[in-house]
Chain A
Amino acid sequence: MSLDIKTTQRFYAAFGILVFIGSIQLVGTFQLAGPAWPPLSTVVEYICQRRVVQTLLLATGKTSKVILYAYAVGVTLAIVISSLVHLFPIYRPGADRFVTFVNAVPAVAIAPILIILVGGQLSGLILAAIYVFFVVYMASLSGLGRLNTAHVDLFQVYGASKYQRFFAYDVLYAAPMILNGMKQAVPAAVVGAVLAEWFSGQGGLGLMMLSAMRNFQIPLLWSAMLFVACFALAFYGVVGSLEAYARKRIML
């Protein structure tokens, strides 16, 4: 009996994940990377302690709040501004240049200036929002730029105004692309929030990682990273399923 190609692929995929996790465990068990790389099982055991879990969850709550706020702000601004630029293309070159410029500024360089200007709490939010904004802005504009010409012509023939067409067609047609950008923006939001915590010293998972790194608390360092990764993965999954739903509805 021969397996079809999809099943074989799934089998290999599961195997790949297993090998990935297994090799992390093995490197730790045999201390191949030194004492800073513990076996995964040790980290999981460490997390399972009641006090540790409580501390980690508290920190996750704090960081995730910043991430979610920044995500909401970044996505909203990106969609509004890219829509405006789409409707008034004369501002496109300036907006593009400005957005690329701001995105190219290393976070390490903006963070101190932001902290000086607006304080630690708000600077984390702004930093993460800038990263989110860039990814969604780019995706949204490229989605709005790939409209179906036949559909656009139809709206023109029936005498729809630019704005009528925008709300009835452009936004919907670009929705899967925008949601794809929103999915890519999830890791960006997480990175922004964690970085800002490093620079500002405001609590949360980022600060926890940093102090664990400086104090050689290796299991804590790994657990904090696992929590960051799991949060990012779950968030990514939620937005990803939204994207899949939109793709199905709009049938691209």
Chain B
Amino acid sequence: MTARFAKHWLLTNLPIALVFIAWVLVAQILPVNAIIFPSPGSVLEDVIGHPDVYLHEGGVTFRASVYGLLLGVLMGTGMALLSWCSFALKSMLLPVSLLLATIPVVAIIPIITRIFGPGMSSVLCVVTVVTFLPTFVAVSSGLHAVEHSHESLFKVFGARKWQQLRYLAIPAAVPHFMMALGISAPSSVIGAMTAEYLIGSEGLGYQLRSAMANFATDRVVGGALLSTVMSIFFLSLAQIACKKILARWG
């Protein structure tokens, strides 16, 4: 049993481990300058040596991601519920949401920053927009993913509109909602980082930009690693919540 578990663990994590091993080897063997290619040791040293910097910048990005994610998901769900209630609104929003889905959201970051000005409010707005769209699209398709016979049954027994929403449409939309959360959670970190990189005055994205300008490559890689850990943390959290809730609702 343990042997099988170990084999599975190895097969799962070997590719990522290989990347890190290659990093160590290349930094050791190739005669490249540490400014161009920092070794894992120097990156680790920088992270351990300046915990205050990483904690502060990481915290700023973390807060922006969480608040933006909450806002975006709430607004997306609210909009989807509204559009469920009215046939006209639903039909009107459908092509617009399709249109918006094809447009790369990141492309509007410069416009958002010009409207809200540089600073945290722009970063928050970017994260909200990035997470709003997938939530809206997924939840509204979930609300309509109701079996036809169930809908007829509700109608025959004279259920009111809100009862149909409460007992039929919302339960049907829960898996879709969780899926949207899985997509939005890591992209909230990506949105926050990108916005900070372009216009922020603090946060991990800003740290990356200023470290790059100062050729502090170990700090660049350190910030990159921290943001990756954060993004994967968000993703795993969403996946765990998804499993837990689907076991109950699915």
A binds B: yes
Partner of A221, one of B110, B227, B232: B110
Q: Judge whether B94 and A13 touch: CB under 8 Å.
A: yes
A59 within 8 A of B: no
Q: Judge whether A109 and B114 touch: CB under 8 Å.
A: no
Q: Judge whether A236 and B11 touch: CB under 8 Å.
A: no
C-alpha spacing A107/B227, complex, angstroms: 10
C-alpha spacing A100/B182, complex, angstroms: 12
C-alpha spacing A141/B171, complex, angstroms: 28
Q: Judge whether A233 and B15 touch: CB under 8 Å.
A: no
A172 within 8 A of B: no
Residues of A contacting B37 in the complex (Cβ-Cβ under 8 angstroms): 116-117
Q: Mark A209-223, 1 if CB is under 8 A from B, else 0.
A: 110110010100110
The segment from B73-81, B85-93, B145-153, B162-170 found at the interface with A is B85-93
Q: Mark A25-53, 1 if CB is under 8 A from B, else 0.
A: 00000000110110000000000000000
Partner of B104, one of A14, A190, A210: A190
Q: Mark B169-210, 1 if CB is under 8 A from A, else 0.
A: 000000000000000001001100110111000000100100
Q: Judge whether B91 and A16 touch: CB under 8 Å.
A: yes
Residues of B contacting A232 in the complex (Cβ-Cβ under 8 angstroms): 102-104
A113 within 8 A of B: yes
C-alpha spacing A95/B13, complex, angstroms: 9
B108 within 8 A of A: yes
Residues of B contacting A222 in the complex (Cβ-Cβ under 8 angstroms): 111
Q: Which residues of chain B from 199 to 250 have any CB-CB distance to chain A below 8 Å in the complex?
A: 205, 208, 212, 217, 220-221, 223-225, 227-228, 231-232, 235
A97 within 8 A of B: yes
C-alpha spacing A97/B232, complex, angstroms: 11
Number of A-B contacts (CB under 8 A): 155
Q: Which residues of chain B from 102 to 116 have any CB-CB distance to chain A below 8 Å in the complex?
A: 102-108, 110-111, 113-115
Residues of A contacting B99 in the complex (Cβ-Cβ under 8 angstroms): 17, 20, 233
Given contacts A17-B96, A210-B198, A232-B103, is CB(A225)–CB(B111) below 8 Å? Answer: yes
Q: Judge whether B15 and A94 touch: CB under 8 Å.
A: yes
Q: Judge whether A106 and B189 touch: CB under 8 Å.
A: yes
Q: Judge whether B194 and A108 touch: CB under 8 Å.
A: yes
Which secondary structure dominates where chain B touches chain A?
Answer: helix
Instruction: Please report the total number of B residues contacting A with Cβ < 8 Å.
Output: 53
The segment from A146-154, A161-169, A191-199, A244-252 found at the interface with B is A191-199
B16 within 8 A of A: yes
Given contacts A12-B88, A13-B94, A17-B99, is CB(A191)–CB(B106) below 8 Å? Answer: yes
C-alpha spacing A33/B112, complex, angstroms: 10
Residues of B contacting A101 in the complex (Cβ-Cβ under 8 angstroms): 16, 228, 232
Q: Judge whether B13 and A108 touch: CB under 8 Å.
A: no
Partner of A229, one of B107, B113, B212: B107
C-alpha spacing A228/B111, complex, angstroms: 13
Which secondary structure dominates where chain A touches chain B?
Answer: helix
Q: Mark A105-120, 1 if CB is under 8 A from B, else 0.
A: 1111110110011000
B8 within 8 A of A: yes
A19 within 8 A of B: yes
The residue of chain A having its C-beta at the shortest distance from the C-beta of B205 within the complex is A108
Q: Report B's interface with A, CB cutoff 8 A.
A: 8, 11-16, 36-37, 87-88, 91-96, 99, 101-108, 110-111, 113-115, 186, 189-190, 193-194, 196-198, 205, 208, 212, 217, 220-221, 223-225, 227-228, 231-232, 235
Q: Report A's interface with B, CB cutoff 8 A.
A: 8-9, 12-17, 19-20, 33-34, 36-37, 90-91, 93-95, 97-98, 100-101, 103-110, 112-113, 116-117, 186-188, 190-191, 194-195, 198-199, 209-210, 212-213, 216, 218, 221-222, 225, 228-229, 232-233, 236
18 further interface pairs, Cβ-Cβ under 8 Å (given A36-B114, A94-B13, A106-B189): A9-B91, A13-B92, A14-B95, A15-B92, A17-B95, A37-B111, A106-B224, A107-B190, A108-B197, A190-B104, A191-B106, A221-B111, A225-B108, A225-B111, A229-B103, A229-B104, A229-B107, A232-B102
